[in-house]
Amino acid sequence: MTEDKDFGEWGFSHHVEGVSVLLLRYHFKETEQIKAILTNLLQQRLPELQGCFTTLTTQKMRKRRI
């Protein structure tokens, strides 16, 4: 899990096996909202994130296989 776009892009571009990346993108004013969304995501959909590069915002989630 990272807020660093460079780290997230590195993990995706190097096709590292067995790794999942969750990139959080939000404005500091959205901290409480992203915390709630992240908690819900991890509780309900964690298995489908494995082996994926996932970007999470307060508006949407996008995932791609690594």
Domain ranges of the chain: 19-65
pLDDT for the residue 18: 81
Q: Which residue has the higher pLDDT, 15 or 39?
A: 39
Name the average pLDDT for the chain.
Answer: 90
Which strands, in side-by-side order, build the sheet including 21-24?
Answer: 21-24, 52-56, 61-65
Structure tokens at 2: 């990272």
Global pTM value? 0.85
Q: How many CB atoms lie within 10 A of CB 41?
A: 16
- For 9-27, the pLDDT digits (tens) are 776 677 777 888 899 999 9
